[in-house]
Chains A and B, each alone.
Chain A
Amino acid sequence: MLEIFQYDFMIRAFMAGLMIAVIAPLIGIFLVVRRYSLMADTLAHVSLLGTAIGFLTKIYPFFTAIIVSILAAVGIEKLRASKKIMGESVLALFLSGSLALAVVIFSIVKGINVNIGSYLFGSISTVSSLDLLFILGLGLLVLTSIGLLYKGFFLISLDEELARASGIPVNLLNTILVVLAGITITLSMRVVGILLIGALMVIPVLTAFQFRRSFMLTLILSVVFSILAVTIGLFTSYYFDLASGGTIVVISLIIFLLTNILS
């Protein structure tokens, strides 16, 4: 069964997958409790635009995707905080706008051999050493930031007004959270693809919610379910020759359904 680890590309896939499995629900839980789940899908589409820009400008697409995601995340947060446009409408604006732009740019660069499918649905087996370095490095940055700022993220998630009244820098924390979400989503692009990353950020969290435990325990459980889904998903996709991104999300859904029935 462990012959899977004979191949370097599968070792890279597992390392990338496990890092994403840890950071995706850690960010996802804060988006879910703040009723901001659509943010994941929006930033995923923004990442696609960043990738397209990378192909157009011949710059490493991962890099341009991260930059564009961070800029969009800050823009979304500023618009949301200004309350000039309703929260969900801001997300719709960015989601459809960036997808449209990405489609246009990809049509311009269609002469270049670009496999858009691998960005839409993920292609974890094609994760290069440079990609892995990027995923592990930035993944560690996301993990450290959550560890350091956990209390702040918890406070703004429980009640922004209460946090603000006690002198917590709410706007700064909101901005950092969406920037971390942007980075996480871009890193996850190769693992599950932009169309499925929202699921990886949300489903393990919803699974953990069903146990009705403390916030900290819910957070830990969501990471456990996410690691379980990615590990089983990668094994299943390898041995049954299935698309890895879709398989991971389907396994995640099966775990959700099982815990739902059991609880």
Chain B
Amino acid sequence: MKQAIKAIEVKNIEVKYQNQTVLENISFSINQGDYVALIGPNGAGKTTLLKVILGLTAPTSGEIKIFGQNSKLYKRKYEVGYVPQKIAQIDTQFPVTVWEVVASGRFAKVGILKRLEKKDINKIREVMVISKIDNLKDRLLSDLSGGERQRVFIARALAGEPKILILDEPTMGVDMTAKDNFFNLLEYLNRDFGLTIIFVSHDIDAISQKAKYVLCLNRKLVCHTLSKELDKGSYLEELYGDNMKKVIHK
């Protein structure tokens, strides 16, 4: 049997801020092509964990490997696409078009001193079509809805031709239709392009339906399981407390 390639390996990660432990002894690995949801209550350390993987926060101890290489030595950082939580709050005074934002996702791959060539322009066009924002290319970012902005920043991440896509609460502040479209896009990227996806969400319903695996985090790793088995254990109670009720929307 062909052995799966490990896209991300997290080994004994610990993060402390001013002697307060934010993450404690976290270890897990994610295979290439996995579709993983990261859940946990507020303050569980989800964003911190993502930032450690992205190299934005240095862990107090432990090691991260990206495709088998220590993340500090991993040069092609643009291969780990990132869609941060704060997109909805990006400065609306900034005069920037959708095309400019998406194209900027290509800069790190091409090199900031080099010009975009025709193949780069074609790639930018292609990811805009995939993300269904090609009709918005000349619009200002500030004129878009929350859902449209999310797509723009996914397209931006895709422009760097990532192998891994990390999204921090991507559906925060978007309506139900936009949310459905958004998860359909992620599913398509995972299925048809083999993109490894990790996303943070509080939407247990969406997670159990969309993601293949779930990482449960509350400063420590509570579970790393198939999403369909999330109900079987006492993981949710462990994460959110005994009073947690799950309501299925049909």
How distant is B57 from chain A, measured CB to nearest CB, in Å?
Answer: 10
- The answer to whether A165 and B104 touch (CB under 8 A), given A212-B140, A214-B99, A218-B95, is no
Q: Within 8 Å of chain B (Cβ to Cβ): is A255?
A: no
Q: How large is the interface on A (under 10, 10 to 19, 20 to 34, 35 or more residues)?
A: 20 to 34
Bound-state CA distance A162–B112 (Å) is: 14
Q: Is the CB of B93 within 8 A of A154?
A: no
Q: Within 8 Å of chain A (Cβ to Cβ): is B82?
A: yes
Q: Is the CB of B56 within 8 A of A165?
A: yes
Residue of A nearest to B138 (CB): A214
Which of B76, B101, B112 has a CB less than 8 Å from the CB of A152? B112
Bound-state CA distance A218–B141 (Å) is: 14
Measured between beta carbons, the chain B residues less than 8 angstroms from A209 are: 93, 95
| Binary contact track A126-149/B, C-beta < 8 Å → 1, others 0 | 000000000000000000000011
Q: Within 8 Å of chain A (Cβ to Cβ): is B91?
A: yes
| Binary contact track A205-236/B, C-beta < 8 Å → 1, others 0 | 00011001111101000000000000000000
Q: Is the CB of A214 within 8 A of B95?
A: yes
Q: How large is the interface on B (under 10, 10 to 19, 20 to 34, 35 or more residues)?
A: 20 to 34
How distant is A61 from chain B, measured CB to nearest CB, in Å?
Answer: 34
Measured between beta carbons, the chain A residues less than 8 angstroms from B138 are: 214
Q: Within 8 Å of chain B (Cβ to Cβ): is A88?
A: no
Measured between beta carbons, the chain B residues less than 8 angstroms from A33 are: 91, 93-95
Tell me which of A35, A148, A165, A209 has the highest count of chain B C-beta atoms within 10 A of its own C-beta. Answer: A165
Q: Within 8 Å of chain B (Cβ to Cβ): is A168?
A: yes
| Binary contact track B139-163/A, C-beta < 8 Å → 1, others 0 | 0100000000000000010001000
Residue of A nearest to B108 (CB): A166
Q: Is the CB of A158 within 8 A of B78?
A: no
Bound-state CA distance A35–B95 (Å) is: 13
How distant is B188 from chain A, measured CB to nearest CB, in Å?
Answer: 23
Q: Within 8 Å of chain A (Cβ to Cβ): is B97?
A: yes
Q: Is the CB of A158 within 8 A of B56?
A: no
How distant is B202 from chain A, measured CB to nearest CB, in Å?
Answer: 21
Q: Is the CB of A151 within 8 A of B84?
A: no
Interface residues of A in 151-190 (CB under 8 A from B): 151-152, 154-155, 157-159, 161-168
Q: Is the CB of A161 within 8 A of B56?
A: yes
Measured between beta carbons, the chain B residues less than 8 angstroms from A162 are: 82, 84, 156
Which of B84, B96, B105, B112 has a CB less than 8 Å from the CB of A161? B84
Which of A159, A164, A166, A213 has a CB less than 8 Å from the CB of B95? A213
Bound-state CA distance A10–B93 (Å) is: 38
Residue of A nearest to B107 (CB): A151
How distant is A206 from chain B, measured CB to nearest CB, in Å?
Answer: 10
Across the A-B interface, the 8 shortest Cβ-Cβ residue pairs: A167-B77, A166-B108, A152-B112, A151-B112, A214-B97, A165-B82, A166-B78, A151-B107
Can you list 9 A-B contacts with CB-CB less than 8 angstroms, sorted by A residue number? A33-B91, A152-B107, A159-B90, A161-B84, A166-B78, A168-B112, A209-B93, A214-B99, A214-B138
